[in-house]
Structure 1
Amino acid sequence: MAEIHRLHGGYLLRALMRTTGGDRGKAEDILQETLLRAWQHPEALAAGPEQARPWLFTVARRIAIDHYRMAAARAKEVIGEPVEDRPLADDPYEQVVVARDLALALRRVQKHHREVLVELHLKDRSVVEASARLGVPPGTVKSRNFYAVRALRPVLAAEHGYAPVTG
């Protein structure tokens, strides 16, 4: 077997690297399985180690096809998908905790800032609508919003562990 690996292992590995799209681990697995089958079927190598290459390539090709068929038959659950990329299930308790943290943090900012934040972000009103509700010009709403968000970020980060959003 060592002689077969020495004579044909490099050629098989290069061919399997192309077959597997450069996945060296998978190519080495297929090569190992190919050599195992050669060891299990000494009759295929009766002509000698030098003449074994066509048989080895055929076996390797069939094993590679089997690997791809098995991978295709498996469910495509999390193959290559990082955990943080998967959507999280909606957790109603998490929403309650966030709302409580936000309410506590809003108490720490000035009243005119809190009013603007509530109108724009919690009630989802436009600048013009918030301006009309608060009785201040739209430019004032924009300015107060800017300073309110700036004041709220460190409060949320320090007291409730929320990382400040940049950008």
Structure 2
Amino acid sequence: MLDVTAGQSAPVGGVVVDQERLTLLFVIYNERLVRTLRGRLGSRWELAEDIAQETWAKVVQKLDTCRASDDRAFPWIAVIARRAASDYFRLARNTRELPTDFGAEGPVGLAPAFGSPVEVDVHEQVALDRLTAFIRGEMEVAA
């Protein structure tokens, strides 16, 4: 946590931060930021809070580039949040693994842990198709 001393700047992760301004922005906009992210992410409230935390970490790094006055800085923060969410979902999409080898245990973990309802439906359909093929293959071997 930042040690906030009014009117002072301090290095945070190699970046000099105006702690007073950062604290003011956090107090003014954090609740609005989390509420906005929750509205966009639906029932994934924990994810909204994680992305908000990542957003504030990036705000710390980029605060010196913000030219907006403190009372008009939310659009700037919202752009950072949008990019943080995109980074999260891009990383999640690129690291997600779908089972392709059912082996002796049968299919495991057919649906992804997250994703939009459309993505989940597509993945569920693919999983059901694979399961059907697996069962048919097993039935043909047994017959």
Higher helix proportion, which one?
1
- Which structure's CA Rg is the greater one? 1
